[in-house]
Chains A and B, each alone.
Chain A
Amino acid sequence: MAEPLERLTNLLALLLESRQPLTLQQIAAELRGQYPTNEAALRGAFERDKSVLREVGVPIEQQVLGGNQAGQTAYRIDRRRYELADLDLSDDERQALQLAVAAVRSDEAWGQEGLWKLGIGGERPSRAVAATVPTFVALPPLHEAVAAKATVEFVYRSVERALDPYGLLLRDGYWYVIGRDHGHDDVRTFRVDRIAGSVRVGVGSSFERPPGFDIRLVFPSDPKLLGEPENEITRAIVRIAPTRAALVAGEVGAAAVVQRFDDGSIDVEVPCVNRDAFRSWVLGLTDHAVVVAPAELRDDIVEWLTGIVGVIS
Chain B
Amino acid sequence: MARRGPRPAHQRLKRLLVMLPWLMQRGEVSISEMAKHFALSEAELVADLELASMCGLPPFVDELIDVYIDEGMVYTGVPRVFTRPLRLTAPEGFALLAAGRAAMALPGAEPEGPLGRALAKLAATLGEDGVVVDLERPVIADEVARAAEAGERLSITYWTPARDESSEREITPRAVFVDRGHWYVLADDQRSGSERSFRLDRILHFSPTGVIEPLRDVEVPDTNRWFADDTDIDRVTLRVPTELVWVIERYPVDSTKPDLERDGMTIAVMPVTSEQWLSRLLLRLGERTDVLEPGRWTMLAAQTAREVLARYAAVNPSS
Q: List the interface of chain A (C-beta within 8 A of B).
A: 3-6, 8-10, 12-14, 16-17, 30-32, 52-53, 55-59, 81-85, 87-90, 92-97, 99-101, 103-106, 108, 110-119, 121-123, 126-133, 135, 139-141, 143-144, 146-149, 165-174, 209, 215-216, 223-224, 239, 243, 246-247, 250-251, 279-280, 283-287, 290, 292-293, 295, 298, 301-302, 304-313
Alpha-carbon separation in the docked complex, A6 to B213 (Å)? 54
B186-230 residues at the A interface, CB under 8 angstroms: 201-202, 204-205, 217, 220, 223
Sample 29 A-B pairs with CB under 8 A, ordered by A number: A6-B51, A9-B64, A14-B57, A31-B57, A83-B87, A85-B125, A93-B118, A97-B122, A100-B99, A104-B99, A104-B103, A112-B39, A113-B89, A116-B85, A119-B85, A121-B39, A123-B36, A129-B107, A132-B179, A140-B93, A143-B97, A216-B132, A250-B140, A283-B308, A286-B276, A286-B279, A287-B307, A292-B315, A302-B312
Q: Does B242 count as interface, using CB distance less than 8 angstroms?
A: no
A147 touches B126 (CB 8 A): yes
Contact of B114 among A90, A116, A293 (CB under 8 A): A90
- The CA of A239 and the CA of B314, in the complex, are separated in Å by 12
Q: With A9-B16, A147-B130 in contact, do A106 and B88 touch (Cβ < 8 Å)?
A: no
Q: What are the residues of chain B within 8 A of A306 when measuring CB–CB? A: 305, 309
**A129-B309 in contact (CB<8A):** no
Separation of A13 and B60 alpha carbons in the complex (Å): 12
How many A-B residue pairs have C-beta atoms within 8 angstroms? Tell me: 353
Query: Which residue from chain B places its CB closest to the CB of A215 in the assembled complex?
Result: B132
Contact of A283 with B136 in the complex, beta carbons under 8 Å = no
Query: Shortest CB–CB separation between residue B83 and chain A, in angstroms?
Result: 8
In the complex the two chains form, what is the Cα distance from A250 to B90 in whole Å?
39
Give the distance in Å from the alpha carbon of A101 to the alpha carbon of B96 in the complex. 7
Q: Which residues of B contact A224 (CB under 8 A)?
A: 246
Q: Which residues of the partner chain A approach B133 to less than 8 Å between Cβ atoms?
A: 133, 169-170
Contact flags (1/0) for B108-136 with A, using CB distance below 8 Å?
Answer: 10000111011001100111111111111
**Interface contact A167-B64, CB-CB below 8 Å:** no
Knowing A287-B310, A302-B312 are in contact, say whether A13-B220 is a contact too (CB < 8 A): no
Most buried by B among A16, A59, A87, A280: A280
A4 to B130, CA, bound (A): 39
- Is A131 a contact of B302 with CB atoms below 8 Å? no
Tell me if B13 and A139 are in contact (CB < 8 A): no
Query: Which of these, B105, B286, B311, B317, contacts A307 with CB under 8 Å?
Result: B286
On whether A92 and B102 interact (CB within 8 A), knowing A13-B57, A56-B86, A131-B177, the answer reads no
Known A129-B176, A290-B315: A114·B96 in contact at CB below 8 Å: yes
Residue of B nearest to A284 (CB): B280
Q: Judge if B55 is at the interface, Cβ distance under 8 Å.
A: yes
Could you tell me if B9 and A4 are in contact, using CB atoms closer than 8 angstroms? Answer: yes
Question: Would you list which residues of chain B between 22 and 74 have a CB under 8 Å from chain A?
Answer: 22, 25, 36-39, 48, 51-52, 54-58, 64-65
Q: Please state if A128 and B149 are interface contacts (CB–CB under 8 Å).
A: yes
Which residues of chain B from 282 to 302 have any CB-CB distance to chain A below 8 Å in the complex? 282-284, 286-287, 298-299, 301-302
**Residue numbers in A under 8 Å from B131 (CB-CB):** 143, 146, 167-168
Task: Give the CA-CA distance A103 to B133 in the complex, in Å.
Answer: 14
Q: How far is the CA of A148 from the CA of B217 in the complex (A)?
A: 42
Chain B residues lying within 8 Å of A114, measured Cβ to Cβ, are 88, 92-93, 95-96
Q: Which residues of A contact B100 (CB under 8 A)?
A: 97, 100
A165 to B129, CA, bound (A): 11
Bound state CA distance, A110 and B89, in angstroms? Answer: 9
Q: Which residues of A contact B22 (CB under 8 A)?
A: 116, 119, 121
Kindly identify which residue among A12, A112, A133, A209 contacts B102, using a CB–CB cutoff of 8 Å.
Answer: A133
Interface membership of chain B positions 268-288, coded 1 if the CB is closer than 8 angstroms to chain A and 0 otherwise: 000000001001101110110
Q: Say yes or no: B86 contacts A84, CB within 8 Å.
A: yes
Given A129-B177, A147-B126, verify A169-B246 contact (CB < 8 Å). Answer: no
Question: What total of chain B residues lie within 8 Å of the partner, measured CB to CB?
Answer: 121
Contact B86–A110 (Cβ < 8 Å): no
The docked-state distance in angstroms from the alpha carbon of A13 to that of B129 is: 32
Counting chain A CB atoms within 10 Å of each CB, the highest count among B130, B131, B173, B301 belongs to: B130
Is B81 engaged at the interface, CB distance under 8 Å to the other chain? yes
B12 at interface, CB cutoff 8 A: yes
B102-A104 in contact (CB<8A): yes
B177 to A130, Cβ gap below 8 A? Answer: yes
For residue B179, which residues in chain A have a CB less than 8 angstroms away from its CB? 131-132, 173
Q: Bound complex: CA of A222 vs CA of B200, how far in Å?
A: 22
**Chain B residues with Cβ under 8 A from A147's Cβ?**
126-130
Q: How far is the CB of A59 from chain B (nearest CB, A)?
A: 8
Instruction: Give the residues in chain A near B246, CB-CB below 8 Å.
Output: 223-224
* Whole-angstrom CA separation of A250 from B205 in the bound complex: 10
A286-B17 CB under 8 A given contacts A99-B103, A280-B247: no
A-B pairs, 10 with minimum CB distance: A173-B180, A167-B130, A147-B127, A114-B92, A172-B181, A100-B103, A110-B95, A96-B115, A57-B89, A307-B287
**B176/A143 in contact, CB under 8 A:** no
